[in-house]
Amino acid sequence: MWYPKELTATQREARRFEAVRLLRAGRVSQAAIARQLGVSRAAVCQWARQLARTGRRADLAQRGHPGRPSQMSDVAWGRLFTILRRGARASGFETERWTLRRIAVVAERELGVTYHPCSLSPLLRARGWSPQRPATRARERDETLIAAWLRRDWPAVKRGLAEAGSSSPSWMRRVTRFGPP
Buried b (16+ CB within 10 A) or exposed e, 78-95: eebeebbeeebeebeeee
Q: CA 125 to CA 15: how far, in whole Å? A: 32
Q: Judge whether 69 lies within some domain.
A: no
Q: CA quadruple 112, 116, 120, 123: dihedral positive or negative?
A: negative
Is 44 a domain residue? yes
> Dihedral angle at the C-alpha atoms of 81, 83, 87, 93, nearest 10 degrees?
-130
The whole domain housing 169 covers 143-178
- Give the Å distances, CA to CA, from 158 to 111, 135, 143, 145, 151: 59, 29, 20, 18, 12
Whole-number pLDDT of residue 138: 80
Q: Tell whether 78 and 53 lie within a shared domain.
A: no
Let me know if residue 112 belongs to a domain. yes
Write down the pLDDT at residue 158.
82
State whether 55 and 13 are in the same domain. Answer: yes
What are the per-10-residue average pLDDT scores of the chain (181 residues)? 71 90 90 91 91 84 81 92 92 90 94 92 88 74 89 85 66 52 46
| 93 within some domain | yes
The pTM score is: 0.46
**How many independent structural domains does the chain possess?**
3
For residue 137, being part of any structural domain is answered with no
User: Are 120 and 149 part of one and the same domain?
Assistant: no
